[in-house]
Structure 1
């Protein structure tokens, strides 16, 4: 069982400070990486106004080349207080994963991937879809709260429990994104 940080999984009420916390961290990462970061997006539940979430700011950093990023990003991210998690590559192929905070609970997660990676568009559209569809965000909130209660400190069970909803909603988001761009 993969344990969650320092205790039970907690889904907190939406905090209106989350966007500002993202902006602060985005500026720090941009400052450390400079032109190495082509784009930095706020993703995950803390990026959706009104959506309860684990209080972890998720950042998505777009790079031109993942191999180059692995050589050039790790040290600057460590200097910002992040821990590089190479063992997550089996779960998150094609990306580098970092987290920050005391040894749990974590305060920030950073996903680094090429802008052309298939997950980039899915992560951004999932966020945008939840922002534009409050009923989907409410359904997601209910699932997250139920899973947090049932999973206790088993983060893999929590993550896996969300999979069906996330996949179905991402499919809807992709169709919605296609219609929106016409």
Structure 2
């Protein structure tokens, strides 16, 4: 299994069953290097959706009590597990990445540190679970991703923005329940 994308590259690969085992391997590394509880580490994103083509990057969500109190010990443990904090500014999260080597060109994994059991945590988990249980929504999401790829294979921010309306529509379904 080959993971990773170059900076700003957008590419989809067919679903790979090894993505799940890779998540569990990395989760174990995180558990071995931090004091996080197992329930606070989840596989999210398209690589966590069965049979969904995805960017070959493993997305992981890590839940903490308070984002503004993330301590150096946690970040040091994540560093020991191979993750570096990115200068990405996203509301309600701290983003880290793992790279193929010390050129830092190809990212293979992301960690999104968010507040445990708060809205963002619940939305990300709900999105994954909803698409895993709803084939029509999964197909619609895949078509949206393919539509972008037909136009461009670069522009990760634009790719994310292209999917945003659909993602928010799914999030809203969580609030209806």
Question: What CA distance in whole angstroms lies between the structure 1 residues aligned with 2:170 and 2:67?
Answer: 27
Relative to total residues, which structure has the larger helix share, 1 or 2?
A: 1
Structural mapping, 1:116-135, within 5 Å: 116-135=117-136
Q: Secondary structure at the match of 1:72?
A: helix
Instruction: Give 2:88's aligned residue.
Output: 88
Question: What CA distance in whole angstroms lies between the structure 2 residues aligned with 1:100 and 1:35?
Answer: 18
* TM-score (structure 2 length as normaliser): 0.87
Question: What CA distance in whole angstroms lies between the structure 1 residues aligned with 2:36 and 2:111?
Answer: 17
Q: Secondary structure at the match of 1:145?
A: helix
Summarize the Cα distance change of 1:25–1:162 in structure 2 as closer, same or farther, 3 Å threshold: same
Runs of 4+ in 1 over 3 A off after TM superposition: 35-38
Summarize the Cα distance change of 1:73–1:14 in structure 2 as closer, same or farther, 3 Å threshold: same
Question: What CA distance in whole angstroms lies between the structure 1 residues aligned with 2:21 and 2:38?
Answer: 20
Instruction: Give 1:143's aligned residue.
Output: 144
Cα displacement (A) at 1:68: 3.1
Q: Secondary structure at the match of 1:21?
A: helix
Cα displacement (A) at 1:96: 1.3
Cα displacement (A) at 1:37: 6.7
What CA RMSD, in Å, does the superposition of the two structures yield over aligned residues?
A: 1.9
Which stretch of structure 1 is more off in the superposition, 97-106 or 116-125? Answer: 97-106
Point out where structure 1 has 5 or more consecutive residues left out of the alignment: none
1:100 corresponds, among 98, 122, 129, to: 98
